[in-house]
Structure 1
Amino acid sequence: MAIFRARRVLWRSFSTVSSHPLRVCIVGSGPAGFYTAEKILKTHQGSQVDIIDRLPTPYGLVRSGVAPDHPETKNVINQFSRVAQNGRCSFFGNVALGSSISLVELRELYHVVVLAYGAESDRVVGIPGEDLKGVHSAREFVWWYNGHPDGRNLDPDLKNTDTAVILGQGNVALDVARILLRPTSELAITDIASHALTALEQSSIRKVYLVGRRGPVQAACTAKELREVLGIKDLYIHIKETDLKITPADEEEMKNSRIHRRIYELLSKAATAGPSRPSSGQRELHFVFFRQPDRFLESYDKKGYVSGVHLEKTGLKGIGSGKQIAIGTGQFENLSCGIVLKSIGYKSVPVDDLPFDNQKGVVPNVKGRVLSDNSGDPTSFENGLYVCGWLKRGPTGIIATNLYCAEETVASLSEDLELGVLASTTRLPKLGRDGLLQILDNRNVRVVPFSAWERIDKEEKRLGSLRNKPREKLTSWEELLKVAGSE
């Protein structure tokens, strides 16, 4: 009942506002959402910004995507917290776009709606055996070890195999490899979910294969992430010497990209720095280049379970502008394993009444202005509807990338306001927060305001202090809503 009471207090406190401020609703409370809110609050004095999220917790991938052993990356939460505590900003968790309230309703209630809910699904490989047990997406695995309430029940089998294959060589793939291979004594002092720590402590995984379609020059990770995984203590690193041979086309790529050259240098050094073979019981990380999955293999002993990956060897083909793509060679080999983690990209999910480009997995837009359809007509905009973050540009970039993305979207919004494209806030008042809370109240939606999140935050830190951790995450919807609703 405390959540309902908090909502009604908020509702009454804003029902007395007599002016007609710019009312903005941001869907999604990750970095894209909070950077957008911060920019709007600074740019448009007197504006009111409401942030809604389907989870009862804010901060999106900063909470559920950043690896637990990267606490410094999570410091941006302090900045986002200050935004949420601004008197003109409100956070409402446990409000799902599509089920709690529709996009059409939000557009009726607010002058501006900014969609920033990211990518909560996965790209598929699209090959036979993808539905076998033991084949998971990296997103699911990341949610599992980060305590996301939708990832708690993943229960990956880490006991009955000593080998894991990760498809992909980007930063998420390296995060996953690091969590599987890093000593659990080091993970125990992070905010990793307890169920994941227990499973990793009992894990039999000793070998991890990172499989990429292209070569070491084209690896999609950053130097920082690569250095970290290469620096895991007592870890045997294996890279085939033949995979490190470079062509003139590779040289051209490295000439045009300092990052690619640095990645290649780090991998080359790692290939020769250690012993030629692992010692007994030593954990192993194998970089496998020039391979793409053809199908997942089913176990003979355990029907319905994965036992390996059938890989096709690839070669590189230039496509101009110093870029190369992988093409199959028709040669195949098997790689045995008991678990596969697909790290081939996140995918955004469309909602009703929203233009969506299914091929690209984004909302069609020009500088954040949502287009009415996929025709590409730059003059056909959805009035008052904007997009930011992965939903705008695809699942690329780091946290700070969303800052520049938000600046561009807010610049478009401001320009439209100045040009009179948006409905005048003086002639056309909108119900905004009042109307939102009225509808949610009528539908018995248990809204979690920021004050209720602060109770969750306080309890997680209290539980964490008992275990020498920064926090012990509450990992079920029931726990989160119970603590949110307690006084």
Structure 2
Amino acid sequence: MTRPLRVAIVGAGPAGVYAADILTKSETQVDIDLLDRMPAPYGLIRYGVAPDHPRIKGIISALHRIMEKPELRFLGQVEYGVDIKLDDLRRHYDAVIFATGADQDRGLDIPGIDLEHSHGAAEFVYWYDGYPESPRDWTLDAQQVAVIGAGNVALDVARVLAKQADDLLRTEIPDNVYEGLRDSQVTDVHLFARRGPAQAKFTPLELRELDHQDDVEIIVHPEGFELDEASEQDIASNNQTKSIVKTLQDWALRDPKHDTSRRLHLHFLRSPVAVEGTERVEAFKTEVMELTGDGNVRGTGEYETWPAQQVYRAVGYLSSPVTDIPFDNAAGTVPNDGGRVLDLDGERLAGVYTTGWIKRGPVGLIGHTKGDALETINNLLEDLDSLGEAEAPERESIITLLEERDVSYTTWEGWGRLDAHERALGEERGRERLKVVERADMVRISRGES
């Protein structure tokens, strides 16, 4: 091939950007378009990370440097499956990589989970992160709240629910989110983990951030705080587990504050059984679990009922099916072999690849996505000789198609305009940034339209 390899990456979050970065560092000359259904880049970092995580949001700086590479072009406000189809991408690119992530809440099959004021964690995260497709109103009239889960998302949800709104004023939260949290009636947030403290999936950093709130008392309940043989072995061999357990033990032993307006309770070995209520959530029922010696748990047949007027389940994210691509509904992933997408017969779909959570499921931290991308890109490069050449690989041909279809796409330069606008809004309030929420406003500002 005498011209650069033309690659389309669908999804401009960390998974897609890391894949693009690895491609640019290969010996193959490349020309890459990152397409995203949102007008702005960064995906999970912009719309899935709690606003009070400055260190995690610092990843944007690294992603920004990658996006500045001349081999990359950002095309936002382009929805795959609506504005453009797989046949279109195959006509204009030599290879296509799907990095669409996981955008839905995994379900939880217990009675009452669909009652009013029972929510998936993603719904709440999208609200406080100003996701354009999320409702702008959120009812926080509950005094007692139950959060189901023992991962980082569960901690984020619990921390934001317990936090005073004024403590978030330094972040980029939109005004409606500040107002909603300011009017919150929450006094007690209860987080329930099905297994023991040594089996928790959150990171030490996320756990310690719970304690960075002056008006919130962290209460580690001794019932369920148990360690079995497998737990002790994990503590001895895994520094992360050791740090988590030590932090929890220290909190459990310290003197109570007594003078805080809000409390965040941590319960272990409590499995969700039912959400109770008639028209809305009124209580949350759990079964007491016990460790079996190997890190697993079993039910004891003993049950407890907790007052709660809202429930949030943080039991995992789930990817949405991708148009014209096989999808494993049970796993929530695109069938693949090392990132090579497989058809319904298990054969490779020529020139089509996947990376990130849509490839392997929503597990691991953001940094783990780099290893994912490396595997996929290595296999793509290995397939170079067998890739078919695009019919219309010229860089402007895809732009012509989008304009013919009247797609109001945004660009990297447009993101620069939106970024500067948000920073200016923040500066007026003494904040680093104030996020623009409405999609139409994002598009208008990005495209420089009045």
**TM tier relative to shorter chain:** over 0.9
2:92 and 2:391 in contact (8 A); partners too: no
* Match among 67, 71, 79 for residue 84 of structure 1: 67
**1:245 to 1:78, Cα distance in 2 relative to 1, 3 A:** closer
> What is the match of residue 313 of structure 1?
288
C-alpha distance in 2 between matches for 1:248 and 1:441: 63
Q: How many angstroms does 1:360 deviate by?
A: 1.3
> What is the match of residue 272 of structure 2?
293
* Match among 403, 410, 416 for residue 454 of structure 1: 416
> What is the match of residue 7 of structure 1?
none
Whether 1:442 and 2:407 are equivalent positions in the alignment is: no
Q: How many angstroms does 1:42 deviate by?
A: 2.1
User: Structure 2-normalised TM-score?
Assistant: 0.94
Whether 1:157 and 2:128 are equivalent positions in the alignment is: no
C-alpha distance in 2 between matches for 1:462 and 1:44: 41
> What is the match of residue 189 of structure 2?
208
SS, match of residue 287 in structure 2: strand
Per-residue deviation, residues 132-167 of structure 1 (Å, max 9, x unmatched): 2211111111111111112243x3321x22111111
Q: Aligned partner of 1:148: which letter?
A: Y
Number of residue-to-residue matches in the alignment = 449
C-alpha distance in 2 between matches for 1:470 and 1:459: 11
* Match among 359, 366, 384 for residue 399 of structure 1: 366
Q: Aligned partner of 2:46: which letter?
A: R
Q: Which runs of 5+ in 1 are unaligned?
A: 1-17
Pick which of 49-58 and 141-150 moved more: 141-150
Q: How many angstroms does 1:433 deviate by?
A: 4.1
Q: How many angstroms does 1:287 deviate by?
A: 0.7
C-alpha distance in 2 between matches for 1:415 and 1:142: 39
SS, match of residue 306 in structure 1: coil
User: Structure 1-normalised TM-score?
Assistant: 0.87
SS, match of residue 172 in structure 2: coil
> What is the match of residue 272 of structure 1?
253
Q: How many angstroms does 1:284 deviate by?
A: 0.7
C-alpha distance in 2 between matches for 1:370 and 1:255: 40
C-alpha distance in 2 between matches for 1:114 and 1:240: 46
C-alpha distance in 1 between matches for 2:135 and 2:446: 19
C-alpha distance in 1 between matches for 2:397 and 2:391: 12
1:24 and 1:432 in contact (8 A); partners too: no
1:134 and 1:338 in contact (8 A); partners too: yes
Q: Which runs of 5+ in 2 are unaligned?
A: none
2:116 and 2:281 in contact (8 A); partners too: yes
1:134 and 1:156 in contact (8 A); partners too: no
C-alpha distance in 1 between matches for 2:254 and 2:131: 38
SS, match of residue 117 in structure 1: coil
1:23 and 1:430 in contact (8 A); partners too: no
Q: Aligned partner of 2:316: which letter?
A: G
Q: How does 1:233-272 map to 2 (within 5 A)?
A: 233-272=214-253
Q: How does 1:210-225 map to 2 (within 5 A)?
A: 210-225=191-206
C-alpha distance in 1 between matches for 2:189 and 2:123: 18
2:196 and 2:226 in contact (8 A); partners too: no
Q: Aligned partner of 1:297: which letter?
A: E
Q: How many angstroms does 1:203 deviate by?
A: 1.2
C-alpha distance in 1 between matches for 2:238 and 2:121: 27
Q: Aligned partner of 2:276: which letter?
A: L
C-alpha distance in 2 between matches for 1:219 and 1:310: 20
Per-residue deviation, residues 422-468 of structure 1 (Å, max 9, x unmatched): 23x5xx65436434223322221111111222211111111010111
1:20 and 1:430 in contact (8 A); partners too: no
SS, match of residue 164 in structure 1: strand
Identity %: 37
SS, match of residue 136 in structure 1: strand
Q: How does 1:10-409 map to 2 (within 5 A)?
A: 20-153=3-136, 155-158=137-140, 160-275=141-256, 279-280=258-259, 282-299=261-278, 303=279, 305-317=280-292, 322=294, 324-373=295-344, 380-409=347-376
1:368 and 1:392 in contact (8 A); partners too: yes
**1:316 to 1:197, Cα distance in 2 relative to 1, 3 A:** same
1:230 and 1:270 in contact (8 A); partners too: no
SS, match of residue 82 in structure 1: helix
Q: How many angstroms does 1:240 deviate by?
A: 2.6
Per-residue deviation, residues 166-191 of structure 1 (Å, max 9, x unmatched): 11121111111221223333210111
2:216 and 2:260 in contact (8 A); partners too: no
* Match among 441, 453, 477 for residue 439 of structure 2: 477
Q: How many angstroms does 1:328 deviate by?
A: 2.9
* Match among 370, 378, 398 for residue 411 of structure 1: 378
What stretches of structure 1 move > 6 A for 4+ residues in a row? Answer: none
RMSD: 2.0
2:215 and 2:262 in contact (8 A); partners too: yes
Q: Aligned partner of 1:329: which letter?
A: T
Q: How many angstroms does 1:194 deviate by?
A: 1.8
Q: How many angstroms does 1:480 deviate by?
A: 1.1
Q: Aligned partner of 2:341: which letter?
A: V
Q: Aligned partner of 1:214: which letter?
A: R
Q: Aligned partner of 2:290: which letter?
A: G
